């Protein structure tokens, strides 16, 4: 554990029932806006700011899948990451929510906020 992680504080952002499976919503922690996604029962937190033009990347439609094409599959299109791809509503940059990875730019990886449930309360660690 790094020193930075030791300093993290848990901020209550709602009840577990506010974040049902398949939902996504933006919460405010201090001056940060954080998108909380419930994908398959697991909670993920991403910043609500797209590095491209600062769009509200967590305020788009519910996460969908996307298309990829790989040599090992003969370059055929494949539908992957179903329900795990958040798309910035401004210009469409795609992000894989569980990893924070931007599909268009390998150099962009979003900060991931750990989100936990304790005693029925959802907490974001910042």
Partner 1 sequence: MTDTAAQTRERKEKLEDILVVDCDVHVHESPKELIPYCEMPWRVALENIKDVQEFYLDIPGFSPGTTAYEAKFPSGQEGTRMVHSPEQMREELDGIHVDIGVLFPDHFLKMPVISQIDYAAALARAYNAWLLDRWCDVDRGLLGCILACPQDPEDAAREIRRYAKEPGMVGVFLPCAGLERLWGHRQYDPIYDAAQEADLPVLLHSVTVIHPVFPFNTHGFETEFGRHICSHTFSMMANLVHMITTGVPVRYPDLRVAVTEAGISWVPFLMHKMDKEYVERRREVPFLEDKPSTYLKKMYFATQPVEEPENPADLVTMMNLYEGEDNTIFASDWPHHDFDHPAKVHQVPFTNEVRRKVFGENALRLFNIDASGNRLNL
Interacting residue ranges for partner 1, rule: CB under 8 A: 53-55, 60-61, 63-64, 67, 79, 85-92, 94
> Is 46 or 86 the residue whose CB approaches partner 1 more closely?
86
Best CA proximity match to 125, nearest among 7, 25, 9, 24 = 9
Q: Residue 123 Cβ, how far from partner 1 at the closest point, in Å?
A: 27
Spatial distance between the Cα atoms of 42 and 11, rounded to a whole number of angstroms: 18
> Residue 87 CB, nearest distance to partner 1 (Å)?
3
CB-CB contact of 13 with 27 (8 Å): yes
Which residue's CB is nearer to partner 1, number 10 or number 85? Answer: 85
Decide: residue 7, CB within 10 A, 0-12 exposed, 13-18 middle, 19+ buried: exposed
The 10 Å Cβ neighbour count of residue 17 is 8
Write down how long the chain is: 126
Considering the complex, what minimum distance in angstroms separates the CB of residue 46 from partner 1? 14
Q: CB-wise, 60 or 100, nearer to partner 1?
A: 60
Q: How far apart are the first and last CA of the chain?
A: 15
Least CB distance from residue 55 to partner 1, whole Å?
8
Of the pair 23, 54, the CB lying nearest partner 1 is at 54
């Amino acid at each position: 554990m790094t020193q930075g992680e030791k300093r993290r504080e848990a901020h209550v952002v709602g009840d577990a029932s506010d974040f049902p499976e398949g939902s996504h919503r933006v919460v405010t922690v201090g001056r940060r806006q954080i998108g909380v996604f419930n994908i398959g029962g697991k909670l993920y937190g991403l910043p609500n700011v797209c590095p491209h033009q600062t769009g509200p990347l967590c305020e788009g439609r519910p996460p969908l899948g996307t298309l990829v094409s790989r040599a090992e599959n003969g370059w055929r299109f494949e539908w992957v990451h179903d329900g795990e791809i958040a798309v910035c509503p401004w210009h469409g940059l795609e992000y894989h929510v569980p990893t924070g990875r931007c599909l268009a730019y390998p150099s962009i990886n979003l900060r991931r906020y750990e989100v936990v449930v304790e005693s029925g309360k959802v907490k974001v660690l910042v």
